[in-house]
Amino acid sequence: MQPTNKQPLFIITGASCAGKSTICAALFANEKDYIVMESDLLWNDIYNTPEDHYKAYRKLWMTVCANISQIGKPVVLCGCNTPEQLEPLPERSLFTDIHYLAVVCSDQALRQRMTAGRGVTDETWVQSSLDFNRWLVENAAGTTPSIKLLDTSALAPDQAAERIDKWILSRLWGGERL
């Protein structure tokens, strides 16, 4: 089915433990004007293809989001995505716009959340998350389209969710605030 009711797509991205899943859970609990989806929901190891930026997984999610948005509400997809992974795909044409926001935090906060908060002991995973978090901070403004940043180092999850909700609604109804 080719979607005919095109909507914008909102991507909430960030490194592991930066806060995106917790924030998206808060958005999910209060959603009215959009549908929140967690991209880990459909993960299967058959999609573990970093050599092509997980292309089949990205295509699957874009198709799912486009079909869900046929009800007249846009989708907010929470997961690790960057514009270079989504914008070149043919499924990009299924959306009016794609808006990107990255949840980031300080290295210290991220390491603390991973090790003490979530009990991650795999130093390779911790370093990979730190590297992605730094990449987002250093490169977000230069991506096409650019990625808006929200630093959650000193924000409670409900505060961050409130800011993201306002950002989403401002993109839907005009203007931009964060």
Contact at 8 Å (CB) between 58 and 86? yes
Per-residue pLDDT of the chain (178 residues; tens, 9 = 90+): 566 789 999 999 999 989 888 998 999 888 889 999 999 889 889 999 999 999 999 999 999 999 999 999 999 999 999 999 999 999 999 999 999 999 999 999 999 999 998 899 999 999 999 999 999 999 999 999 999 999 999 999 999 999 999 999 999 987 554 4
Q: Supply the pTM of this predicted model.
A: 0.93
Domains and CATH numbers, the chain: 7-172 (3.40.50.300)
